[in-house]
Structure 1
Amino acid sequence: MSDADTPGTDSTRLTEYVELHGCSCKVGQDDLDALLSEVGLTDQQDELLLGVGEDAAAQRLRDDLALVSTVDFFTPIVDDPYDFGRVAACNAASDAFATGAIDDVSCRVVLGVPRELRDRAPAILAGIVDAFAAMEGTVAGGHTILNPWPFAGGAVTATADPDHLLDTRTAAPGDQLYLTKPLGTQPAMGALRVKDGEFAEMLEETAPRSMDRIGEEATTWMTTPNRAAATAAREHATAATDVTGFGLLGQARVLAENADVGVEITSLPVIAGTVELSHLFGYGLEEGESAETSGGLLLSVPAERSADLEAALSDAGVFHRRVGRVTDGSGARLTDPEIEAVSR
């Protein structure tokens, strides 16, 4: 057997060890709702400021201090172990940032690797450590196991003033909706995984850009923390969530249900080339259904504060697009959305 055929060698691809990649490994919304309902975790938890149904939990410690906590981990969406660690770290921290909690950030790493891939663990962990350092956070410990499917992420804590917390319950009709990263990570990375196999010729004919370039841009977006977006937005936004495995439309449904409002999505900024790839593989990007990994924040802001929010995001160097609005009614839907191809 050659080195190329031996599990655990440098040629072994992390994504080959799993059937579902990144945030697409999340349990579906309907199944998750049924699970929570079955065990009685659907009611408001009076002892918490934020609880089940929000991106993170929040507990009041003092009148001026809340502790925000969350846990998130997933399977590889990229093959480079260092990048996998960075993506996992940004994704895990994003749930805390979606609540506006950006201070005192720390992570307890959750890491699992197959026995034959133990040599990849240091690079994955290094990616997590470096990513949290870039977010002005720290890795404070963790737990590592042997597991047939590799996974990485962590339990993240952060602090915020309770009066500055954001959640999904306070969006109001008339609010404008903004997104802080383009969509398309699932088709970008899905196509990249098979670009050298039997689909190579089909991908070359389908993709309007280099597959490597599309993949590089998707990885750059996934390893861009949402901390700067949260810092810029929390003085202006009334509600927020981050866009991950449920896709933009799925997260909009959460916002609509929790705030008892309607949501209209009118624009879809996407990584250039990913719509064509989504058509090929049936990911539903144009329908807002494609799973996102380490996606942007979906922010709800009163119309009169929209200009202030845009200015704050621009000053912070944060990508942003207005993607819809909050309405009377219920549920979330796409309304003939304009597709904007975004390239770096």
Structure 2
Amino acid sequence: MDRDAATDTDEERARLTEFTELHGCSCKVGQSDLDSLLSDAGLTGDSDALLFGIGEDAAGRRLTDDLALVSTVDFFTPIVDDPYDFGRIAACNAASDAFATGAVENLDCLVVLGLPRELTDSAAPILGGMADALDAMDGVIAGGHTIMSPWPFAGGAISATAHPDALLTSQGASPGDCLYLTKPLGTQPAMGATRVTDEEFVETVTDAADRPLDRIASEAVAWMTTPNRDAALACREYATAGTDITGFGLAGQSRVVADRSNVGIELTHLPVIAGTPALSSLFGYGLTTGESAETSGGLFVAVPPEATADLEAAFDDADVFYRGVGRVTAGRGVTLDDPTVEPISR
């Protein structure tokens, strides 16, 4: 799709983010609330029909001895105002849940789209952004469903395949494993700064950042529109457990791995988009404590120490960003005690 054609009326459109109170993956139900909901509904046990399901990033079903189908659904409210970029971010975020399990082949997306009447002109560029993003991931839009909604949202139901032996869950981490993250953190404060319109507060936000706000925002969008497909292909041979970093933040997703693997996780290093820690402190997002919500974040994988050199070589060969961020311990829960914060700029 022609990017210029998709945005030639951007100045005439209302801002997407004005139509919702919560933005990107921060619109998701909280971790403890979700756990309570599943418990109240009796949806806490494994299914004999599935390789894995509730509690994981996606569901896996064995079709044959050599083929497994992975399916998931993910959608959220706008984190950017540009409809085309919103579509790209939504597609990358939805596909990431399949990639986190190691499923990268035969990628299909059934689009889920909701818009208020005032934003119906945004539908085409949103879909165009999703189509272009999926094409870059060797995927296709296979259909979908569109409704009128007071809060705009976009995403999709994703399906992908892999050999059953190539699949990852959050349950396989072992004490001694090293932990890696494939994108820097900080999308929530980076994009929160772009939504400030009060002139006096704009000055406060600008003064708080040590970099131009538009540069911070453009780098955040670049990370959110970077698919996790290459990272998944590079790491699935070596990883023992994996997930992706989204609305629960790094600490929240670490708790998922810790709980499901019955291990402890010690986080020691936080790569962050340069300029976002100060913005997070201003807005109270909790970036340096791992609590800030991430949208279309990186993969978070556990890898045995003896495989780290091969993993890092695979990441380098695939030109995938990565940082070691901690280790798996024999304890329980997640600890994050005065981690090293590393600013990352593109």
Q: What TM-score comes out, normalization by structure 2 length?
A: 0.96
1:168 and 1:103 map into 2 onto residues whose CA distance is 20
Counterpart residue number, 2:149: 147
**Once the 2 structures are TM-superposed, how far is the Cα of residue 46 of structure 1 from its aligned partner?**
1.8
Q: Quick check: 1:43 aligned with 2:45?
A: yes
- Contact 2:172–2:261 at 8 Å: present in 1 too? yes
- Contact 1:177–1:300 at 8 Å: present in 2 too? yes
**Once the 2 structures are TM-superposed, how far is the Cα of residue 45 of structure 1 from its aligned partner?**
1.6
Counterpart residue number, 1:318: 320
2:240 and 2:12 map into 1 onto residues whose CA distance is 47
Residue 53 of structure 2 aligns to a residue whose secondary structure is coil
- Deviation string 1:214-260 (CA, Å, 9 cap, x unpaired) is 00000000000000000000111111000000000000000000000
Counterpart residue number, 1:298: 300
Aligned AA for 1:162?
P
The correspondence for 1:246, drawn from 244, 248, 251, is 248
Counterpart residue number, 1:234: 236
**Once the 2 structures are TM-superposed, how far is the Cα of residue 288 of structure 1 from its aligned partner?**
0.2
Aligned AA for 2:246?
T
The correspondence for 2:311, drawn from 289, 309, 312, is 309
2:249 and 2:146 map into 1 onto residues whose CA distance is 29
Counterpart residue number, 1:281: 283
2:29 and 2:70 map into 1 onto residues whose CA distance is 23
The correspondence for 1:56, drawn from 55, 58, 78, is 58
Residue 72 of structure 2 aligns to a residue whose secondary structure is strand
Residue 143 of structure 1 aligns to a residue whose secondary structure is strand
The correspondence for 1:175, drawn from 166, 174, 177, is 177
Counterpart residue number, 1:102: 104
- Contact 2:238–2:303 at 8 Å: present in 1 too? yes
1:204 and 1:179 map into 2 onto residues whose CA distance is 29
Counterpart residue number, 1:124: 126
- Contact 1:195–1:203 at 8 Å: present in 2 too? no
- Deviation string 1:173-209 (CA, Å, 9 cap, x unpaired) is 0000000000000000001111664311101211000
1:172 and 1:258 map into 2 onto residues whose CA distance is 11
1:185 and 1:98 map into 2 onto residues whose CA distance is 19
1:275 and 1:252 map into 2 onto residues whose CA distance is 20
- Contact 2:267–2:337 at 8 Å: present in 1 too? yes
Counterpart residue number, 2:261: 259
Counterpart residue number, 1:4: none
> What is the Cα-based RMSD across aligned positions, in Å?
1.0
- Contact 2:13–2:119 at 8 Å: present in 1 too? no
1:109 and 1:171 map into 2 onto residues whose CA distance is 33
Q: What TM-score comes out, normalization by structure 1 length?
A: 0.97
Residue 295 of structure 2 aligns to a residue whose secondary structure is coil
Counterpart residue number, 1:157: 159
- Deviation string 1:15-67 (CA, Å, 9 cap, x unpaired) is 00000000000000000000000111111222110110000000010011000
**Once the 2 structures are TM-superposed, how far is the Cα of residue 10 of structure 1 from its aligned partner?**
1.8
Aligned AA for 1:321?
R
Q: Which runs of 4+ in 1 moved over 6 A?
A: none
The correspondence for 1:29, drawn from 7, 28, 31, is 31
- Deviation string 1:122-147 (CA, Å, 9 cap, x unpaired) is 00000000000000000000000010
Identity of aligned residues (%): 68
**Once the 2 structures are TM-superposed, how far is the Cα of residue 72 of structure 1 from its aligned partner?**
0.1
Counterpart residue number, 1:114: 116
2:203 and 2:218 map into 1 onto residues whose CA distance is 20
The correspondence for 1:199, drawn from 185, 193, 201, is 201
- Aligned pairs, number: 337
- Deviation string 1:242-296 (CA, Å, 9 cap, x unpaired) is 0000000000000000000000000000000000000000000010000000000
Counterpart residue number, 2:3: none
Alignment of 1:204-215 (within 5 A): 204-215=206-217
- Identify which range, 119-128 or 191-200, moves more after superposition: 191-200
